[in-house]
Structure 1
């Protein structure tokens, strides 16, 4: 798996770029050319083109709402676009899970949809892209106690749709994952669900595009301190060899999701992952351990 390097630091323009991609896909989905959509907004073609490329310095929410209306977007997608339009560029920015869940999900899906390489460190829980339906449902039933069964099913379906990025036949995202041993030994749902979840992880780790390693309890803290979960998204290069988008780090917590794209910040996470990875079991022993623990769950239930 290769990685592309960035050459300059700059303030994050992630919200603008994600909004631009969101609007471009919405326009294309609605069957409009740039000229047609710009004409309906009484804009020059270049105005919409700059917006779709994330180059507009000041994005007005009412303009975005106007485009959403033209493209026939539903309330949830319109709310997601408006939330992106209202994000302010800066060194980093926060997006609360609880208050803006629809926008958060749309942002994350848009981020994942363009990735070519994905690096994951997860010390606490099976990453959503690797979760089985039973594992996901058990988590959501606790985290969203007010949800109906139908709403919980939709959350599970959303995860399943997101998992397509690593499972699809054509150009699946190349993925490296480090799971702490505690992820494998913490029971979510019941032992039957855990046995199935661990077998699923092992099966995924046998795919050519996915590498799964386990950090054992005995490895301690390889970087000298606990690390929170993080994801590193890389977006590949265009025909001229230029990075399509800067590499982005997504770090999550109960309070919200933080995104980083400055070169110094991204490199900090890359170095941390490399250090942790050197302390893990190799790929095959990791897979063997995961299958062994799955058998233990089967025996003990």
Structure 2
């Protein structure tokens, strides 16, 4: 039975384990919010209905709280959702939302401000990023990642560093997916090629790795070099990651990283501004052929 006209529907959001539990939790929360607004129910009334606080209910709608099937069933009844297909699909998504994410085996070393990016990037259609200091984490070699991690955590044990690098390496798996892998458009500042991380051999192998990845994944990966000649346009002092998702129930998000913290926002007024900045960088940065030439030049420098 089709959804009633003008009523919110979640039927177009399929259960996709590879997208991760956070994406399903976020989709259900957004659907619940739309249903509540369509039914004209206040957040306070909704919270009271499932015997929780308005703050906790607000976290449920934002996809930041665990989902309980009993609560979702009670809210569906309150909001007048009776369509069997809708209820069945919500139950499927709630089940997916309960699955542990791959990164959770490293939860003891993942700071809270990094978790939203780790949780939601597998569901992205496009990951658009800018990195002013280092090779983007998804594209780092093991030895490059080891040196970068050790530099940031000089007192950590080698076992801790190894696990941290394993987490970083595992993030690349989403680009190898057979079905709907994210596309990565990464912009890297030119100074990254001139900043030695480890020995010349480490840099040589890292740059060679970038060239091989671009050959192996021509549809999933695109790398641009932002030259110093860009001037003020390239004067962005922090990393930016913009996530665009495949479904309207998942709004665009932006992750901004500083030295010891980061922020993650889904507010359209903020995401559009950062997206425009990334577009400006892409339009001015080196294109595919020029980027390859710059990488080859750097490869010879470290040979």
TM-score class, shorter: 0.5 to 0.7
Residue 46 (structure 1) aligns with: 74
CA distance in 1, matches of 2:176, 2:61: 29
CA distance in 2, matches of 1:15, 1:182: 42
Residue 170 (structure 1) aligns with: 179
CA distance in 2, matches of 1:197, 1:168: 23
1:101 to 1:201, Cα distance in 2 relative to 1, 3 A = same
Greater relative contact order: 1 or 2 (C-alpha under 8 angstroms, separation 6 or more)? Answer: 1
Q: Per the alignment, in what secondary structure is the counterpart of residue 263 of structure 2?
A: strand
Residue 202 (structure 1) aligns with: 211
CA distance in 2, matches of 1:49, 1:158: 41
Of 252, 257, 260 in structure 2, the residue corresponding to residue 252 of structure 1 is 257
TM-score by length of 1: 0.65
Of 275, 293, 297 in structure 2, the residue corresponding to residue 288 of structure 1 is 293
CA distance in 1, matches of 2:182, 2:169: 15
Residue 214 (structure 1) aligns with: 225
1:254 to 1:18, Cα distance in 2 relative to 1, 3 A = farther
CA distance in 2, matches of 1:251, 1:217: 22
> Following TM superposition, by how much is the alpha carbon of 1:113 offset from its aligned partner in structure 2, in angstroms?
2.3
Residue 233 (structure 1) aligns with: 243
> Following TM superposition, by how much is the alpha carbon of 1:102 offset from its aligned partner in structure 2, in angstroms?
4.2
1:294 to 1:45, Cα distance in 2 relative to 1, 3 A = same
Q: Per the alignment, in what secondary structure is the counterpart of residue 233 of structure 2?
A: coil
1:233 to 1:202, Cα distance in 2 relative to 1, 3 A = same
1:116–1:235 contact (8 Å) kept in structure 2? yes
Residue 19 (structure 1) aligns with: 64
Of 266, 269, 274 in structure 2, the residue corresponding to residue 264 of structure 1 is 269
CA offset digits 1:121-179 (Å, max 9, x no partner): 11111111111111110011121122222111101100111111223333221111111
CA distance in 2, matches of 1:115, 1:195: 31
CA distance in 2, matches of 1:130, 1:15: 34
Please identify the structure whose Cα radius of gyration is greater: 2
1:229–1:252 contact (8 Å) kept in structure 2? yes
C-alpha root-mean-square deviation of aligned residues, in Å? Answer: 3.2
CA distance in 2, matches of 1:162, 1:49: 39
CA distance in 2, matches of 1:210, 1:72: 28
Q: Per the alignment, in what secondary structure is the counterpart of residue 222 of structure 1?
A: helix
TM-score by length of 2: 0.65
1:236 to 1:150, Cα distance in 2 relative to 1, 3 A = same
CA distance in 2, matches of 1:15, 1:127: 32
1:178 to 1:49, Cα distance in 2 relative to 1, 3 A = farther
Structure 2, unaligned runs of 5 or more: 1-57, 79-97
CA distance in 2, matches of 1:101, 1:19: 17
